[in-house]
Structure 1
Amino acid sequence: MHFTNENDTALRFPVLIGDIGGTNARFAILVDSNADPKIFPVVQTADHATIDEAIQSSILDRTSIQPRSVVLAVAGPVDGDEIDLTNCDWVVRPRRMMESMGFSDIIVINDFEAQALAVVALDEEHLEMVCPGTSEATGSRVVLGPGTGLGMAGLVHAQHTWFPVPGEGGHVDLGPRTARDLEVFPHLETIEGRISAEQILCGRGLVNLYRAIAAADGRDPVHATPAEVTGAGLAGKDAVAVEALDLFVTYLGRLAGDMALVFMSRGGVYLTGGIAQKIVPTLKNGKFRAAFEDKAPHSDLLRATPAYVITHPMAAVMGLAAYARTPTRFGVETQGRRWKA
């Protein structure tokens, strides 16, 4: 593997930064290493046939700044010169992008690597604590993001460098533990007979959980979308939706505690994504914390580990900006993921 170090060529400014999701693409330009990112309006991926078209019409046509380098975070595996995105039709073709738009250097990484980078790039004002504790300055960290799916990454510090560790932790098994779980779990929709964490802890997973609770109680589900379940649960107007949110944060707490143990994350656990930001009141009602800390014989370790919700709407962009400013601060693997003109 090849990691960025002092012998690598630094990124040439200005740098175009992009966080490309299934529904939204967020862009910014970093003029130099001391500047704040110039953030552009959020782009709807469905409004543009290609990422090249989106960058040209939404960014380059709206500024006199000509980026020389590009750093993109994408939801999908980065493999080869044609990078397919998981939840949208865009394909990233770095070589063609350089030819058509004049870029000299393009780096493409995984979207949750960018979320992990953001953890050490954000100020405290963009972190909402949901479990008290003290974050060790160079302690390992975990990022969990319930959204369209369930993303996960670690961040490990060694030799004065932060190393993001992307993974598929959102697909680990999640099983019943309490008597209520045993009533609800038989009604959950499975994948080939299996209940992974993502089957519950994402947008469609919340609806899956809501329907399972209704079925367990012999009731007809009223709500059909994550937003409807979340709204009804937060408003306290629907007992099934309220319990769905309570169980959602309980199961998220269990998984967050498991990942904290895997990474020995004395630097904290960080929840990111739209769902976590919307349900902060439920995350603070004590059920997440109880499940997070309920890890005998290591409960004391978890009680000392803080957990936060990342509230910055452009967190991944800020993580990419931190990397673009000082690549040597981060051990980001670039082999097979960097293209130069």
Structure 2
Amino acid sequence: MPGEDDHIMMKFPVLIGDIGGTNARFAILVDAYAEPKEFPTVQTASFATIDEAIQTAILDKTSVLPLSAVLAVAGPVDGDEIALTNCDWVVKPKQMFETLGLEEVVVLNDFEAQALGVVALGPEHMEQIGGGEAEDAASRVVLGPGTGLGVAGLVHARHTWIPVPGEGGHVDMGPRSERDFTVFPHIEKIEGRISAEQMLCGRGLVNLYRAVARADGKQARFTTPAEITSAALDRSDATAAEALDIFVTCLGRLAGDLALIFMSRGGVFLTGGIAQKIVPALKNGLFRAAFEDKAPHNALVRSMPVYVITHPLAALAGLAAYARTPGRFGVEIEDRHWARG
């Protein structure tokens, strides 16, 4: 049965997991004071189910038997069978009692975990991209291009950090500049529209690159985000370089929109592997110019800092913080908490 108590205390050891469309990362917290015991990253395509992945890649590699699990998944958490947006895994918490020997399972949205990580991590794990000083207790927003595009807010109220999960990566994106109106007609659409995720994720960068090539009547030489990023950063391919410029510009526009929505005086946080790899492009001025181009509120967003989270396992850090001290966070667990019997 889903639990009704908003301030559960997890039974240790606790398995924590950050499950995205391509990669799944796991660790075990032996107790509230221990550092997480991390395991090698799992490729979701390598296992038919999440239960098989956890058993084979985690439980078979340790003598520690977790009693609880806090899992963050890339998709909305709804019902007793939770499908991921960009991979075939389905999380079935009740089944995990039998297959994995767990007594308790909490399932959160993956960017809810990223939002928790913003509080758990220190300044040594962040690189600032412009703006002023963050206000300690002010609202924050997290977004991250990866396999998809995740978005979450984080608000502070009654001495508690409250993550606000959602599907903000699927908002509409439209052209603004003259060049946009040349390129955007060539961007692959979903049911007639261009969502932010169609542009601002790994496949979105490929989508942009192909659109720029088509707009100029050129051949698209590259097929992967890594190839495009590499050629763009070393400026060895003009089409790739422009695609990445459009990518960071549109990311800046969206980040600025979200900053206004959440009044993010506590900062805007870019997370995930893509953001970490393109820091030079994020610092070339295009991102920040687009972020601040929010008349009549340019001055307001100009003061807001943007950070790239450089910690490789930010979501796990957030989940570990929640597992240790759930009362510190206003995480809504109704219909997202299952306990055996």
Q: Same fold (TM over 0.5)?
A: yes
Which residues of 2 match residues 258-277 of structure 1 at below 5 A?
258-277=257-276
Is 1:66–2:65 an aligned residue pair? yes
Q: 1:293-317, CA deviations, whole angstroms, 9 ceiling, x for partnerless residues? A: 1111111111110001111111111
- Does the 8 A contact of 2:18 with 2:315 survive in 1? yes
Cα distance in 2 between the residues matched to 1:51 and 1:191:
28
Cα distance in 1 between the residues matched to 2:194 and 2:119:
32
Cα distance in 2 between the residues matched to 1:193 and 1:52:
37
Counterpart of 2:150 in structure 1 is 151
> Post-superposition shift, 1:274?
1.5
- Seen in structure 2, the aligned counterparts of structure 1 residues 43 and 236 have a Cα distance that, compared at 3 Å, is same
Q: 1:269-323, CA deviations, whole angstroms, 9 ceiling, x for partnerless residues? A: 0111111111110001111011111111111111110001111111111110010
TM-score, structure 2 normalization? 0.95
Counterpart of 1:331 in structure 2 is 330
- Does the 8 A contact of 1:15 with 1:69 survive in 2? yes
> Per the alignment, in what secondary structure is the counterpart of residue 309 of structure 1?
strand
- Seen in structure 2, the aligned counterparts of structure 1 residues 88 and 183 have a Cα distance that, compared at 3 Å, is closer
Cα distance in 1 between the residues matched to 2:57 and 2:29:
16
Counterpart of 1:99 in structure 2 is 98
> Post-superposition shift, 1:119?
0.7
Is 1:47–2:46 an aligned residue pair? yes
Which residues of 2 match residues 88-167 of structure 1 at below 5 A?
88-167=87-166
> Post-superposition shift, 1:146?
0.8
Cα distance in 1 between the residues matched to 2:224 and 2:59:
36
Amino acid at match of 2:14: V
Q: 1:130-170, CA deviations, whole angstroms, 9 ceiling, x for partnerless residues? A: 12321111111111111111111101110111111111211
Counterpart of 2:296 in structure 1 is 297
> Per the alignment, in what secondary structure is the counterpart of residue 120 of structure 1?
helix
Cα distance in 2 between the residues matched to 1:261 and 1:2:
34
Q: 1:85-127, CA deviations, whole angstroms, 9 ceiling, x for partnerless residues? A: 2222222221121123322111011111111111111111111
Q: 1:233-252, CA deviations, whole angstroms, 9 ceiling, x for partnerless residues? A: 01110111111111110110
Cα distance in 2 between the residues matched to 1:237 and 1:58:
40
Cα distance in 1 between the residues matched to 2:176 and 2:81:
43
Amino acid at match of 1:108: V
Which residues of 2 match residues 298-313 of structure 1 at below 5 A?
298-313=297-312
> Per the alignment, in what secondary structure is the counterpart of residue 320 of structure 1?
helix
- Seen in structure 2, the aligned counterparts of structure 1 residues 61 and 174 have a Cα distance that, compared at 3 Å, is same
**RMSD, matched Cα:** 1.6
Amino acid at match of 2:252: G
Amino acid at match of 2:189: T
Amino acid at match of 1:336: D
Amino acid at match of 2:116: L
- Seen in structure 2, the aligned counterparts of structure 1 residues 187 and 235 have a Cα distance that, compared at 3 Å, is same
Counterpart of 1:213 in structure 2 is 212
> Per the alignment, in what secondary structure is the counterpart of residue 131 of structure 1?
coil
- Does the 8 A contact of 1:210 with 1:244 survive in 2? yes
Counterpart of 1:13 in structure 2 is 12
> Post-superposition shift, 1:187?
1.9
> Post-superposition shift, 1:4?
5.7
Cα distance in 1 between the residues matched to 2:52 and 2:90:
11
Counterpart of 2:244 in structure 1 is 245
TM-score, structure 1 normalization? 0.95
Greater alpha carbon shift after TM alignment, 90-99 vs 331-340: 90-99
Greater alpha carbon shift after TM alignment, 287-296 vs 197-206: 197-206
- Seen in structure 2, the aligned counterparts of structure 1 residues 221 and 101 have a Cα distance that, compared at 3 Å, is closer
Amino acid at match of 1:102: G
Cα distance in 1 between the residues matched to 2:100 and 2:216:
58
- Does the 8 A contact of 1:4 with 1:327 survive in 2? no
- Seen in structure 2, the aligned counterparts of structure 1 residues 3 and 309 have a Cα distance that, compared at 3 Å, is farther
- Does the 8 A contact of 1:206 with 1:226 survive in 2? yes
- Does the 8 A contact of 2:3 with 2:336 survive in 1? no
